[in-house]
Amino acid sequence: MTFETLVASAEMEQATETRALGDAFVAGLDAATAEALTAILTGDVGLREYTPNHLRGLRGRDKVVAHLRGERATFPDWRATRLSVVGDAERVAVEYRAQYTAEGRYLEEMRSAFLQVRDGRVHTIDAYRAAPIPSAHRDAYIAPANLTDEEIGRLFEEWQNAWDIRDSLPLTVDAWRSIHGGWGGSGDAHPGSNGIADFYWPAEVADAKIREAIDHFRQRGVGFTWLVSPFDEPKDLAERLERHGLILAGDTVGMARVGLTPTDIAINPAIEIEAIGGDDEAAIEAQLQIYAQCFNWTAQQLHERRPDFLEAYRDPKRHAIERGYLARLDGRPVGTATLIHRVGLAYMGGAAVLPEARGHKVYATLLAHRLADADARGYHIAAIQAAPMSRPIVAKYGFKPYTRRRIYGWMPEPDLAVIKSLVPQE
């Protein structure tokens, strides 16, 4: 072995140890014990913490440890999740997510820390914190079966923030989010292609913020939808939107079923259910065509969503969370649905059945199949955002209403038929 090889091997070993120190740093933050943090910091460790509002400087292990542990005292459910870590023998960069409940809202901050290493311990910490945004329980969390009705309702609120931009960055994405809400979309003119949700502003500034949001889309010449939930502020948001010219398209009801063994659902054994694979472009296209027909997609919407569907199915991490199904009757695709595992719920999403196939228990068979799959994965609660046509159906299968959100539409030149089509009635 050459001298250069020995040096490279030693540097790699040191870098590995340093990256392990980065993991230990986040683990120490999550544990929030003095012992876990003291073990990895030098006695004269220094901290420079940069936030959107201030710069904080501290020196000395006792003061730094007390500061790093302070959030756990302020927010008892505070937790840190390591996202990535890189480094060499002298310096390591770690990226992590902090989540906590504040004033009844579950929030998150994206954070990073650059750690200077001396004698195998952290000597200097340069920490950077982004502003908080609404969050959701992710990772391996599964909601228990004994939640109260209010707690289940709160999970529906979290669902609105369940999309994790770190898991997927769709090809057509153009999104913005803050503690006060967010918007996103593809920029297509159709109002169903762009949306606003999670509005959270004091009453005295709400109308000005509504005007700003409308102006954002007016300047681009595109329409949008506005989702109004019971958790939005101010509480009279819907009435304010109507005064600003938005049109009510309809509503969806957040419904949930506790206990997922589907023995109470009569299925059609003649219907074949297949899980859509990431490389099965024909099945993915069949799903898209069913969605386009049942949800009134325009040709432009179908065209712009196709690449995102293909990319999502080919992404192993996302495919493990979101699974698509195709229902065939006499070999012909007649229905489709998805099963999404997020915020501890088994979410029954995107169900659609072609009009000519209704009355053959296609929906019931898709539902039973998804419930069985979720049950096998250990989930206890299934959820759905039910449009008017779905509510009486899922109510028969044990789903109870927990929350409702109204869907408003806006277009530069209002078209009532287009806006009403955002919430299919049949």
| CATH, range 136-426 | 3.40.630.30
DSSP state of 208: H
* Of 69-73, 285-289, 309-313, 381-385, the least confident: 309-313
Residue given tokens 């589907």 in the structure block: 262
Residue given tokens 């769709």 in the structure block: 170
Q: What pLDDT sits at residue 164?
A: 82
Q: State the average pLDDT for the chain.
A: 91
354: CB partners within 8 A, 6+ apart:
290, 293, 294, 334, 335
pLDDT 10s digits, 119-173 = 999 999 999 999 999 999 877 789 999 999 999 998 988 888 887 888 777 777 7
Q: What pLDDT sits at residue 215?
A: 96
**Is residue 8 pLDDT above 50, yes or no?**
no
Torsion of CA 270, 275, 276, 279, to 10 degrees: -120
As a whole-number percent, the residues of the chain with pLDDT over 90 amount to 71
Distance CA(147)–CA(221), nearest Å, equals 44
313: CB partners within 8 A, 6+ apart:
276, 277, 278, 284, 319, 324
Q: What pLDDT sits at residue 62?
A: 96
Average pLDDT of the segment spanning 238-246: 97
pLDDT 10s digits, 23-55 = 999 999 999 999 999 999 999 999 999 999 999
Tell me whether the CATH fold assigned to 3-134 matches the one assigned to 136-426.
no
Domains of the chain, by residue range, sit at 3-134, 136-426
Q: What pLDDT sits at residue 6?
A: 38
94: CB partners within 8 A, 6+ apart:
22, 23, 25, 26, 82, 84, 85, 112, 113, 115
pLDDT 10s digits, 70-120 = 998 899 999 999 999 999 888 999 999 999 999 889 999 999 999 999 999
Distance CA(334)–CA(39), nearest Å, equals 61
Q: What pLDDT sits at residue 2?
A: 56
Q: What pLDDT sits at residue 15?
A: 58
Amino acid type, 209: K
Q: Beta strand pairing status for 400-410 and 121-129?
A: unpaired
Average pLDDT of the segment spanning 174-198: 90
Distance CA(65)–CA(30), nearest Å, equals 13
| Domain covering 3-134: architecture | Roll (3.10)
Cα 150 from chain centre: 20
DSSP state of 39: T
Residue given tokens 């990772």 in the structure block: 139
pLDDT 10s digits, 264-277 = 999 999 999 999 98
Q: What pLDDT sits at residue 1?
A: 54
Average pLDDT of the segment spanning 403-422: 94
Q: What pLDDT sits at residue 295?
A: 86
Distance CA(386)–CA(397), nearest Å, equals 13
Question: Sorting pLDDT into bands at 50, 70 and 90, what band is 300?
Answer: confident
If one counts every other C-beta atom within 10 angstroms of the C-beta of residue 265, the result is 17
Q: Beta strand pairing status for 345-353 and 332-342?
A: antiparallel
Q: What pLDDT sits at residue 166?
A: 82
Q: What pLDDT sits at residue 51?
A: 95
Instruction: Give how far Cα 391 sits from Cα of 254, 255, 388, 426, Å.
Output: 10, 8, 6, 11
Average pLDDT of the segment spanning 362-367: 95
